[in-house]
Structure 1
Amino acid sequence: MSAMPQQRGAPGPSPDAPDRAAAARPDASMWLLNQVMDHTLDEGYEEEAARRAAEGRTAETGPLRPWLIAGTLLIAMVITLGAAQARSSLPAVAKERRELIDRIESGTERADRLQEEVDALRDDLADREREALREEGGEQAELTALLAGAVAVTGPGLEIVVDDAESVAQGLPDGARDDTDTGRVRDRDLQRIVNGLWASGAEAVAVNGRRLTALSAIRHAGEAILVDNRPLVPPYTIRAVGDGPVLRDAFEEFQENLSSDLLTLEELEEYFGIQVEMAVREELRLPASAGLTLRTAEPLQTGEGNTP
């Protein structure tokens, strides 16, 4: 039996094959990763690093490094100084604010004390003037004090309440008043009412609790009506002490006799919507005048050029 021929191209076993297998690396199949790990720096960078090392400097200490360090230090210094200055100025600002608040509060308290002293002195002066009227007025002392508004009065009388038309504040923000609105009570309207009450025989008159005298003035300042330089707000309540029914009839007659260019209360109510209420009261109380002013007059001496 003849032996089978050996297949062509199939090498036979080599005597040193076991030695080469033993010497092969276990990670030989990962040669690309090995190259990356063993040569982390590109050859060009390696050459540049070697050149710089030969020149006595490293990659971390390039020629721009000192300027960068100096700039960084300067910025840090500016920030530090600014923070320190801001921190030191905060207590000073707070202290100045506290001092200013204390000064305001102290000034307000002082102003309040002075106002109380003024009010007390004014009341004391009014009391002394009233006492002087009672002592020096003679037989007409009570009448003089009454006309001067030096004493409070109580008695029957007439009460008139006038108020702006209901349409005055409509369409205006926050109840603001239009100075051109004809439905608004004017100072001349109050003047006409007060003068009519005096002419009708009123013994004493007050508007919104402020007693009127022969020296009282009713004016306007912007939208406000002033009585003796004190502002009033609507509705305006005018009280007059006297015989109520007689005073009412006399006042209505006074209104009818007004000239054609003056409006009566009825016309103000009819044409402009001003609200008017009139009533006879059995008892009214009017306070004394807050700003009593006394003036005296002496009769003229007869002589040449003077009419006795």
Structure 2
Amino acid sequence: MCGMPQQPPVRSTPAGPARPDASMSLLTNVMDHSLDDGYAEAAARRRADGAGGLPKTLRAKLGLAAGLVLAALVVTVGAAQARVAAPVVAKEREELIDRIDEQTEVADELEESIDELRADVGAQQREALERNGGSDGSDLVGILAGAVAVRGPGVRLVVDDAKGAGAGGDGNPRGTSGFADTGRVRDRDMQRVVNGLWASEAEAISINGQRLTALSAIRAAGDAILVDNRPLVPPYTVLAVGDGTGLRNRFRESPDGLYLDALRESYGIRTSLSVEDELELAAAPSVIVRTAQPKTEKGTS
């Protein structure tokens, strides 16, 4: 008789003690899993990327606040440094102004001393000439040499650059000198003007207050005109003492006067010539003869 196979006995595991809140499984699940799984994964990814848990708007506000704090700190430090340096700068400025004032006073005193010495030398020269048989011709020599101040009738000639100085027209009195700007007054223009006035019997000439002598030189240094190494700026005012009306007419008809007319017509250089009843020309700063010596007559036995 075949019997039924015997099944091994089933061994049951004793169950643990039941949870007190086993009857509130839904509430328990909500409390244990308050954050949805999708949100939890997104937060984990942000933490993994280094973004942290702060929102972008909050991070931007924090960055702006940090920048403002840094800028305020820089401004504060700069203001503090400026307050510290201000007294030093003010003191240096005052010292520089004092030095300038002192040197200006010294220069003024030296100029006054030079004028006094020049007058004294002139007086002694006249006395020496009179003692040695000289005559009033010594005064004329001093005038022609520019060693003494003069006063008298004459002409006033003003020469100025053209407006919007540019290229000239057809006749070219300057020749082929290659000047880039032919509307500018050049040194050789002033040389011709002065030589024309001398040739027209001017007795004394000055340019912008600079007295001309037999040793004066009119040259150029870049765009500037130098008279005895002193730079002058336009307009150039030329004062010439002499027979006013006759001096004006002779200069106008001279080749140099015609040259000046050509500059005005072709290049727009501005000029004006007028007769003056009285002009005053100061003496030249210095008249130094380095080579020439007066000729002395040898006595005969």
The answer to whether the superposition gives a TM-score over 0.5 is yes
Per the normalisation by structure 2, the TM-score is 0.59
Structure 1 partner of 2:112: 123
How do residues 134-153 of structure 1 correspond to structure 2 at under 5 angstroms?
134-137=123-126, 138=129, 139=135, 140-153=137-150
2:263 paired with 1:268: yes
Which ranges of structure 1 fall in alignment gaps of 5 or more residues?
1-27, 43-83, 171-178, 304-308
Alignment CA distance shift 1:95-1:148 (3 Å): farther
Deviation sequence 1:154-204 (CA, Å, 0-9, x none): 22112222222223179xxxxxxxx61112110111111112212222111
2:159 paired with 1:162: yes
Structure 2 partner of 1:249: 249
CA distance in 1, matches of 2:226, 2:288: 21
Identity of aligned residues (%): 43
Structure 1 partner of 2:18: none
Structure 2 partner of 1:235: 235
2:280 paired with 1:292: no
CA distance in 1, matches of 2:105, 2:229: 19
Deviation sequence 1:211-235 (CA, Å, 0-9, x none): 2223332222222222233332222
Aligned-pair distance for 1:113?
1.8
Structure 1 partner of 2:172: none
**Structure showing greater Rg:** 1
Per the normalisation by structure 1, the TM-score is 0.58
The AA in structure 2 aligned to 1:299 is P
Which ranges of structure 2 fall in alignment gaps of 5 or more residues?
1-22, 36-72, 130-134, 168-178
The AA in structure 2 aligned to 1:293 is V
CA RMSD of aligned residues (A): 3.9
**SS state at 1:134 partner:** helix
Deviation sequence 1:15-58 (CA, Å, 0-9, x none): xxxxxxxxxxxxx9x985x436765789xxxxxxxxxxxxxxxx
Structure 2 partner of 1:54: none
CA distance in 2, matches of 1:223, 1:269: 19
The AA in structure 1 aligned to 2:294 is P
Deviation sequence 1:105-148 (CA, Å, 0-9, x none): 42343134223312321331132112211221233443244234
2:280 paired with 1:280: no
Structure 1 partner of 2:28: 35
Structure 2 partner of 1:4: none
The AA in structure 1 aligned to 2:151 is T
Structure 1 partner of 2:190: 190
The AA in structure 1 aligned to 2:266 is Y
Aligned-pair distance for 1:90?
8.0
